[in-house]
Structure 1
Amino acid sequence: MTRADDAILEFLLNEGNHPIVSTPAVIEANINYKISHVRTRLRKLDSAELVEYYDEDRGLYQISERGKAYLKGELDADDLEHTSE
């Protein structure tokens, strides 16, 4: 996991409010990482099932239940090892 991964997940979680459904461009505008990096990390997070498509045709992502569990500290780092590349 990277700092960008945490920033993406925290943005989508929108703690204290309803989770956000967002495009990579909107995420990029809110977390201060370049769009290419956000897209790369979203693919990795999707592979690890930490985010999921809300609407694949429109490129809308949302945090998954597994992503919420990660942010709560309920997943072991070993379970997420392949997302750090």
Structure 2
Amino acid sequence: MTQADDRILETLSDSSLILSPRVLAVNTDYSRHYLSTRLGKLRDAELVDRIDEGLYQITDRGRAYLAGELDAEELEE
């Protein structure tokens, strides 16, 4: 997990919206390309769902991670 991953999850959680990498880039100061890569990793870890092409929302598992109920080491297993 990276600092960007935390920012992505926090932004998705705080907004309660389905967002694109472009919108996330504007709100997190990371490039859209980098966020697209990170969103793929977060999707693999089941922390975000891809709702449609280029649209993502946080999962319950993602919220559990933000709440400290899920350790980053558990995500790598």
User: Corresponding residue for 2:61?
Assistant: 66
Alignment correspondent of 1:36: 33
TM-score normalised per structure 2: 0.92
Spell out, residue by residue over 1:9-68, the C-alpha distance to the aligned partner (whole angstroms, 9 max, x if none).
Answer: 000001xxx6121011000010000111100000000000000022x24x2100000000
Number of the residue aligned with 1:5: 5
Q: TM-score, normalised by structure 1?
A: 0.84
Q: Any stretches of 5+ residues in structure 1 without a counterpart?
A: none
Question: Per the alignment, in what secondary structure is the counterpart of residue 21 of structure 1?
Answer: coil
> Which residue of 2 is the match for residue 22 of structure 1?
19
User: May I ask how many residue pairs the two structures share in their alignment?
Assistant: 77
Q: Give the secondary-structure state (helix, strand or coil) at the position aligned to 1:9.
A: helix
